[in-house]
């Protein structure tokens, strides 16, 4: 990825997308953020694309990417951070319109944007880099049925696209955040729908993930420092996957007393 190129971040006005845009812009990259509800990031040089950007619409994605590249030059880095969190329901209460919405945004949207940007990268043989934001939910199970399926799909298409474009110099990787302290998660905790202690307790580090921690992993995957890395899914989960099965053995050990 060239510092002189443009990094596009979907879902860039909030959450992990906003944290990543802030970090990369502060590092001196040209960053363009798009969002279905676009809002500028205060205190950064990130460029806001003012039109609403619907990742689930093929026509909107193709036209939007063409317009962005016409205005800001070739996209050399892409972060697919746009997404919606799953509704927690028992299987009999899953509404198919909600299922379709989550899959359309989280999986279809990731594929559409990656395809539209990646084809151009591959044709230019510009050594581009794409990072898809998946989730540990796509690696485990839970009562968020469409979300887990969509994020598992994101992990799979990451591998497939990495193989598709590897010989054209395009790297494609994913990050899988654990429970991350975004505004959306904090709102869920505040409303009582989520319990912070129950979210943190299974993790090896006994805490939630900070959005900037995910952003730092994304920045590494975009950078020349990870030039030999493609097709991976990197969990950034404070040890959620490592720690969650320890309940069967009596729980995780506490830190030794000093």
Domain spans of the chain, in order of start: 6-180+209-244
- Band (pLDDT 50/70/90 cuts) for residue 75 is very high
pLDDT bracket for residue 4 (50, 70, 90): low
**How much of the chain, in percent, has pLDDT values that exceed 70?**
98
Query: What's the pLDDT at 89?
Result: 82
pLDDT of residue 197: 94
User: Active site residue: 49, 111, 147, 165, which one?
Assistant: 147
CA–CA separation, 121 and 78 (whole Å): 10
133-155 mean pLDDT:
95
Task: Report the side by side order of strands in the sheet with 75-80.
Answer: 47-48, 30-34, 6-10, 75-80, 129-133, 171-177, 233-236
pLDDT at 207 over 80: yes
What confidence score (pLDDT) does residue 188 get?
85
Residue 22: its pLDDT value, please? 98
pLDDT at 242 over 70: yes
- Assess whether pLDDT exceeds 80 at residue 87: no
In this predicted model, which residue has the larger pLDDT, 153 or 256? Answer: 153
Class in CATH terms, 6-180+209-244: alpha beta
The model's pLDDT over 214-240, given as tens digits with 9 standing for 90+, comes to 999 999 999 999 999 999 999 999 999
Q: Report pLDDT for 194.
A: 85
Q: What is the mean pLDDT of the chain?
A: 95
Banded model confidence at residue 153, pLDDT cuts 50, 70, 90: very high
- Residue 115 reports pLDDT greater than 60: yes
Residue 181 has pLDDT above 50, yes or no: yes
Active site residue 249: no
Is the pLDDT reported for residue 117 higher than 70? yes
């Amino acid at each position: 990825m060239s510092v002189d190129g443009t990094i596009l971040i979907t879902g860039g006005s909030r959450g992990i997308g906003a944290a990543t845009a802030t970090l990369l812009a502060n590092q001196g990259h040209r960053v363009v953020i798009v969002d279905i509800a676009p809002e500028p990031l205060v205190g950064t040089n990130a460029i806001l694309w003012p039109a609403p950007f619907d990742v689930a619409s093929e026509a909107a994605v193709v036209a939007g990417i063409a317009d962005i590249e016409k205005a800001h030059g070739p996209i050399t880095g892409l972060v697919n951070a746009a997404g919606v969190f799953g509704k927690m329901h028992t299987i009999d209460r899953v509404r198919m319109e909600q299922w379709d919405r989550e899959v359309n945004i989280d999986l279809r949207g990731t594929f559409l944007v990656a395809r539209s940007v990646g084809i151009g990268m591959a044709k230019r043989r510009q050594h581009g880099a794409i990072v898809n934001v998946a989730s540990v939910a796509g690696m485990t199970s839970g009562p968020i049925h469409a979300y887990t399926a969509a994020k598992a799909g994101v992990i799979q298409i990451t591998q497939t696209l990495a193989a598709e474009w590897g010989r054209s110099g395009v790297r494609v990787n994913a990050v899988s955040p654990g429970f991350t302290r975004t505004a959306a998660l904090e709102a869920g905790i505040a409303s009582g729908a989520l319990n912070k202690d129950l979210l943190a307790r299974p993790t090896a580090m006994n805490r939630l993930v900070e959005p900037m921690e995910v952003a730092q992993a994304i920045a590494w995957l975009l950078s020349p420092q990870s030039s030999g890395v493609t097709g991976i899914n990197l969990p950034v989960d404070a040890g959620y996957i490592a720690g969650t099965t320890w309940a069967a053995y009596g729980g995780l050990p506490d830190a030794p007393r000093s």
